[in-house]
Amino acid sequence: MKTLIDCDRGDIVTIKRLHTAGELKQRLISFGLMRGAKVKVLEFAPAKKTIEIKVNSTRVALRGDEAALIEVIDES
């Protein structure tokens, strides 16, 4: 299983599944992070503690542990 934190800078992936529930899941969905959404990986902080992504026209910063809960499929 590949997650968002496993991606490299510049990758474009599709969200397959969110492995979370409750408030965190609702917050991710409110950013547009839901099954079928295309995401571009923009930047990583040192040691992949945070990741900056682009969903539609919105830039979102996620903690590494949150990104590890988002299962993705490569578009390449």
In terms of C-beta density within 10 A (0-12 exposed, 13-18 middle, 19 or more buried), how is residue 47 classed? exposed
Contact (Cβ atoms closer than 8 angstroms) between residue 16 and residue 71: yes
What span, in angstroms and rounded, lies between the C-alpha atoms of 50 and 54? 14
| In the chain, where the domains are located | 4-74
- Give the whole-angstrom CA distance, residue 25 versus residue 46: 25
* 3-state SS, residue 46: helix
Amino acid at 43: E
Q: Tell whether domain 4-74 is in CATH 3.30.200.20.
A: no
| Predicted confidence pLDDT, tens digits, the chain (76 residues) | 999 999 999 999 999 999 999 999 999 999 999 999 999 999 999 888 999 999 999 999 999 999 999 999 997 6
Whether 15 contacts 72, CB under 8 Å? yes
**Per-residue model confidence (pLDDT) at position 4:** 96
